[in-house]
Amino acid sequence: MSYGTVIRLVAIITWLVLGAPAAFALNIPEKLVYDMTWTGIKAGTAIQEIIDDGDSIRVVSTARSADWISVFFPVEDRIESILTKVQAPLLGLPRHFRMKIREGNHRRDKEIIFDHEKGKARYIDHLNGEKVVIDIMQNTYDTYSSFYYLRTLKLEVGKSVFVNILDNKKLWNVEVQVLKKEKVDTILGEVDTILIKPLIKSDGIFQKKGAIYIWLTDDARRIPVKMKTKVAIGSITATLVKY
């Protein structure tokens, strides 16, 4: 099990909308801490942060398995995306993406360098040495920054949004379904949430085996308070424990 699944969940996530207008501004800096449970048992911790680096915005996600899990399935994941800095509530496009994942015997170490002016992205696999130049479309995000972009958008129940995401050397036009609104008990109290379901098609953090569900607060903050996905055995839930 990996922090990956959650990060992509939480991360994971990630899941944006092509050409959709920004509705909300993100709180920067922001740090979110999650407990990850596997079939109800504490399995690890995940942290998501967004930081103002002066001339850029940095989003970082890390995940680590609990000690008892690490004995037979160690998880140590880090995902980082650097974006151009633009005026709120807009979120700039990614310039650089790096993913380093260790989930049991599963490893990934890949990097993407974006050149939006030329419509190109350079993909580098640091494990096998592969390097590929890929054509990208307007408003193309990586898997992680797309999730933050999604949080700035206006979401309406019953209406899907779509986003161009570059992952694993492929460009996907990912659909994010906006399913319903519901109340959820959280560390913030009982809050109104919007439940979304990104239709992820690629591999990555906690390799996806089933549907991913994300509960965002139904307010200007759009805080992901809960995430859930199926893995090879059982399911993983990420629950916000510190904001």
- The domain segmentation of the chain, as residue ranges, is 3-242
In angstroms, rounded to a whole number, what is the distance separating the alpha carbons of residues 188 and 6? 20
C-beta of residue 22 within 8 angstroms of C-beta of residue 85: no
pLDDT of amino acid 113: 97
Sign of the CA dihedral running 19, 138, 201, 16 = negative
pLDDT of amino acid 3: 39
Helix, strand, coil percent content, the chain, rounded in steps of 5 = 5, 55, 40
pLDDT of amino acid 82: 96
The amino acid that residue 29 corresponds to is P
Which two structure tokens, joined as six digits, stand for 201? 């098609």
Q: Which residue has the tokens 């967004």?
A: 50
Give exposure, 15-39, as e/b (b: 16+ Cβ within 10 Å): bbbbebebebbbebebebebbbbbe
pLDDT of amino acid 182: 96
pLDDT of amino acid 22: 52
Q: Radius of gyration of the chain from Cα atoms?
A: 17
pLDDT of amino acid 25: 72
C-beta of residue 142 within 8 angstroms of C-beta of residue 118: no
Q: Per DSSP, what are the bridge partners of residue 82?
A: 58, 96
Q: Per DSSP, what are the bridge partners of residue 173?
A: 164
pLDDT of amino acid 234: 77
Residues of the chain with pLDDT under 70: 1-24, 88-89, 201-210
Which two structure tokens, joined as six digits, stand for 1? 């099990």
In angstroms, rounded to a whole number, what is the distance separating the alpha carbons of residues 107 and 112? 17
Count of alpha carbons within 13 angstroms of residue 227, beta-carbon side: 31
pLDDT of amino acid 201: 63
In angstroms, rounded to a whole number, what is the distance separating the alpha carbons of residues 18 and 21? 9
C-alpha angle 49-53-57 in degrees, rounded to nearest 5: 60
